[in-house]
Amino acid sequence: MVYIIWLDVVVVAVLSGNRNYEGRVHPLTRANYLASPPLVVAYALAGTVDIDFENEPIGIGKDGKEVYFKDVWPTNEEIEQVIKSNVLPKMFVDTYGSITEGNDAWNNLVVPKETLYPWDPKSTYIHKPAYLENITMTPPGPPSVKDAYCLLSLGDSITTDHISPSGVIKPGTPAAKYLLERGVKPENFTTYGSRRANDEIVVRGAFANIRIVNKLLEGEVGPKTVHVPTGEKHYVFDAAMKYKSEGHDMVILAGDEYGAGSSRDSAAKGPLLLGVKAVIAKGFERIHRSNLVGMGIIPLRFKAGEDADSLNLSGHECFTIDLPRKITEIRPGQDVTVTTQNGKSFTCTLCINTQVELEYFNHGGILPYLIRKLA
């Protein structure tokens, strides 16, 4: 007889990079800590992060004696000697002296003669984006949001990696299905980050982080949501396409620090391509708020002391945002009333901070604004 005991193990990574998002090192790592390169090695030797380096050994030496952190940590003099012996001026002279000459792989690339970039319809890495399709010379004005469904209901500290992950494209996901349909083998799926120049991957990768917690799923963790009218559970992309096909607007409910982490434009482009019209949050990371405005998405902040929980918003409501249709009637930071189909209403602050941002917003985002100005 075999007994299997399931333990809720938290797998941890220690890395010396500049990102410690969930699942960044490996999809199954739930906790990721940043440390200097020598500390990464020390933790690797110890095999755990639950250690007191000052009082606990990191291992046993060949002589059978306990080895402590202080025994392997190099002195400043030792580090200086290694640098002097291995980081030599000639290395920099040689590298920068030939940097403009390129290399055989670069120099042998075939350069197209066209003035405009010749899009390759077979490419799964670079794709002609949909951001500027059907653009007209007349700005569309502020968007109308009426009876919008909540695509996701999120908590605090939703990072840009939750919104637009860089990690591995897992089999069975909308992005994986897209690639399979175009003849890409699973071993060549690579990552969302490497395929960000393809808007079809960006939209399928929006909110595809395997660690995202969507309150609509009532405790389940992962990149899915509930299609409110039917109660069906779908990947976020599939649910958004279903809402779109039915002619429904979509909003996102979120907590504080929405959009924290590294600033990446795909974290605003992805929701736009999904069809999200507004994000109603307790607070926004500064740059991400600006990026939302730059893509024509309405950023609304709950009033102080309020959030989706305190207002008893389940995420199953339909939301209508009372925003003037004329840009001249909107001012930065004004109050905006949001109502639900069951008669509940609450006031938010419009997080558009300047007249310039209002101009971008009137054009449907900064890209259409620039195109119209250039034209």
One domain, residues 155 and 77? no
**pLDDT (tens digit, 9 = 90+) per residue, 340-357?**
999 899 999 999 999 999
148 domain-assigned: yes
- The whole-number average pLDDT for the span 303-325 is 96
* Angular region, 217: left φ>0, alpha ψ -120 to 50, beta rest: alpha
**pLDDT (tens digit, 9 = 90+) per residue, 257-283?**
999 988 889 999 999 999 999 999 999
313 domain-assigned: yes
Q: Are 273 and 203 in contact (CB under 8 A)?
A: yes
Q: Which amino acid is at 208?
A: A
Tokens of 74: 């190099």
> Which regions of the chain does DSSP assign to beta strands (E)?
12-15, 31-34, 59-60, 66-67, 145-153, 224-227, 232-235, 250-254, 276-281, 298-302, 318-322, 335-340, 345-350
The pLDDT, as a whole number, for residue 111 is: 87
**Cα–Cα distance for residue pair 94/229, rounded to 1 Å:** 64
pTM of the model: 0.86
One domain, residues 240 and 290? yes
**Cα–Cα distance for residue pair 204/179, rounded to 1 Å:** 11
CATH code of residue 74: 3.30.499.10
Q: Are 316 and 228 in contact (CB under 8 A)?
A: yes
286 domain-assigned: yes
One domain, residues 227 and 291? yes
Confidence tier at 150 by pLDDT (50, 70, 90): very high
210 versus 255: the higher-pLDDT residue is 255
**pLDDT (tens digit, 9 = 90+) per residue, 6-32?**
567 788 889 887 777 776 677 778 788
CATH code of residue 291: 3.20.19.10
Tokens of 112: 């197209």
Q: Give percent above pLDDT 70 in the chain.
A: 98
Sign of torsion over alpha carbons 304, 310, 312, 317: positive
Q: Would the pLDDT of 208 be above 80?
A: yes
179 domain-assigned: no
Other beta carbons within 10 angstroms of residue 135's beta carbon come to 15
183 domain-assigned: no
338 domain-assigned: yes
48 domain-assigned: yes
How many CA atoms lie within 13 Å of 61's alpha carbon, on the beta-carbon side? 9
**Cβ contacts of residue 85 below 8 Å, gap of 6+?**
none
One domain, residues 150 and 44? no
One domain, residues 288 and 243? yes
- The whole-number average pLDDT for the span 36-46 is 92
Q: Which of 84, 107, 130 is the last residue of a domain?
A: 107
The pLDDT, as a whole number, for residue 139 is: 94
**Cβ contacts of residue 263 below 8 Å, gap of 6+?**
160, 285, 287, 288, 291
One domain, residues 160 and 60? no
One domain, residues 160 and 90? no
Average pLDDT value for the chain: 92
The pLDDT, as a whole number, for residue 1 is: 43
**pLDDT (tens digit, 9 = 90+) per residue, 122-132?**
999 999 988 78
One domain, residues 160 and 56? no
Q: Would the pLDDT of 58 be above 60?
A: yes
One domain, residues 341 and 245? yes
One domain, residues 348 and 232? yes
Domain count, the chain: 2
Other beta carbons within 10 angstroms of residue 111's beta carbon come to 5
The pLDDT, as a whole number, for residue 360 is: 96
- The whole-number average pLDDT for the span 238-242 is 98
The pLDDT, as a whole number, for residue 6 is: 54
One domain, residues 337 and 284? yes
One domain, residues 59 and 155? no
Q: Would the pLDDT of 216 be above 90?
A: yes
169 domain-assigned: no
Confidence tier at 294 by pLDDT (50, 70, 90): very high
Structural domain harbouring 71: 1-107
